[in-house]
Amino acid sequence: MLKNWFNASEAQEFGKNLAEIYSAEHSILEKKKEKARTVNKRAKLLGKLTSGVKQFGQTRSLNFYKKAKLGNAFKWALLEKGYDAKFVDQLTKEVLLALK
């Protein structure tokens, strides 16, 4: 039982995949020139991320350790892709708040 409590591999993998999804869709948005539409699309992308995180959290039993591992994997995957640290911190915070 205690072994399962510390097994956060699924949460970490989800965090990495979430960063990949964000990065792929964000790079498409960066190429677009229309600023007003891009802001709306970024808001939709954030909504898509948080709804995916909510669904993941509802279908699995996530303790605070697993949530932290998910957030950490998400954060570092984005930092490795070259995103700004302040931006990544804020985005990670939004993702983790969606798990509550």
In tens digits, the chain (100 residues) has pLDDT values of 677 888 999 999 999 999 999 999 887 666 655 566 667 888 888 999 999 999 999 999 899 999 999 999 999 999 999 999 999 999 999 999 999 7
Instruction: Show the domain range for 38.
Output: 9-97
Residue 4 inside a domain? The answer is: no
Residue 40 inside a domain? The answer is: yes
- Give residue 1's pLDDT: 62
Residue 86 inside a domain? The answer is: yes
Residue 48 inside a domain? The answer is: yes
> What is the 3 state secondary structure string of the chain?
CHHHHHCCHHHHHHHHHHHHHHHHHHHHHHHCCCHHHHHHHHHHHHHHHHHHHHHHHHHCCCCHHHHHHHHHHHHHHHHHCCCCHHHHHHHHHHHHHCCC
Residue 49 inside a domain? The answer is: yes
What total number of domains does the chain contain? 1
- Give residue 3's pLDDT: 78
